Amino acid sequence: MTREQQETLGRLKILTKNFLSQANLLDISPELMYRRLLMEVIFYGTVTKTQQGTDALTRIGPMPMRFDLRKVFPMITERDISSFWLQAVGEIFCFINGGRTLEDLKKFGCHWWGPWATEIKCSKRGLETGDLGPGSYGAAFHDFPMVDGGGFNQLKNIVEQIIEFPHLRTHFVSPWIPQYTIRGTGKQQKVCVAPCHGWINIRVLNGKLTLHMHQRSGDTPVGVPANMVQYAALALAIAHVTGFEAHEYIHSFSDAHIYVDQLPAVEKILMRETPALPTVSMDKTVTDLFDFRREHFVLNGDYHPGPGIKDIPVAI
């Protein structure tokens, strides 16, 4: 860390200590959930080296975020993300439809994957340029490899299982295909980015559907806000097509981190007010989960965030 980064971190630790010591962290309002996550990473995080070459404050197992989907949509308000939230929604519906290339993602209105699927990165893994690989989200969700060589559509089967046996605790989806993510001598990874999110457990209790998404690794300032909206949108869609009420979205982590070069942006965020979370309308004429697209989700006009923050560093 540079001296300037250390000074910024020192100021943030003072700020977060005051919040964490005074707030009832188990009963805070929904708009403060993301703020609490940032503060927990800052106050309890350990500075670590990373594969990307930039040190990161890392917190293992922070407190989950919980959002009542009957009342709010988890779209952060400390800064304006209206310019890209629909890209995140498009991305998740691309993935559940089996998309795994830059071209597939563009068809769903998601354009930010280019730096991770370059010719250099793809060739290193034996992939065509622009192919995220057979270990990517789309491959895992839609075409999980089977012993006979076929592909298993996890989301299709989970929707069918929820409708037939809603009481089960086994409505579970995984983005992880281990034979394509492992590294080591004599082994070639077959995915441009090992899946960071997408361990999904769905529960239906008394006709109310909860989607719990566990995240392996979360870039808290940049990636997590996008993940929050895309899995909440997926929860709304799954509840709709299975005939249940969308009740709650829960977001938990193994590794939540803030890169040290992101600290100035995080300081700006934490010095701001936090307006109430917005609500979203979904086009309920869509009845097939795989027919949903980004344009089927619309903000209701109650999104009043702080100004956007441009150029938050992204580790690639």
Nearest residue to 54 (alpha-carbon basis) of 198, 301, 261, 235: 261
Please pick, among 94, 110, 192, 196, the residue that the annotation labels catalytic.
Answer: 196
- Is there a catalytic annotation at residue 110? no
Which region holds residue 103: left if phi is over 0, alpha if psi is between -120 and 50, else beta?
Answer: alpha
Q: What is each CA distance from 181 to 9, 79, 145, 191, in whole angstroms?
A: 33, 34, 14, 6
- Sign of the torsion angle spanned by Cα atoms 124, 183, 141, 50: negative
Tokens of 186: 């004599």
- Sign of the torsion angle spanned by Cα atoms 269, 275, 281, 282: positive
Nearest residue to 89 (alpha-carbon basis) of 227, 247, 194, 192: 227
Instruction: Quote the CA–CA distance of 36 and 163 in Å, as a whole number.
Output: 36
For 59-96, the three-class secondary structure string (H helix, E strand, C coil) is EECCCCEEEECCCCCCCCCCCCCCCCHHHHHHHHHHHH
Active-site annotation, residues: 196
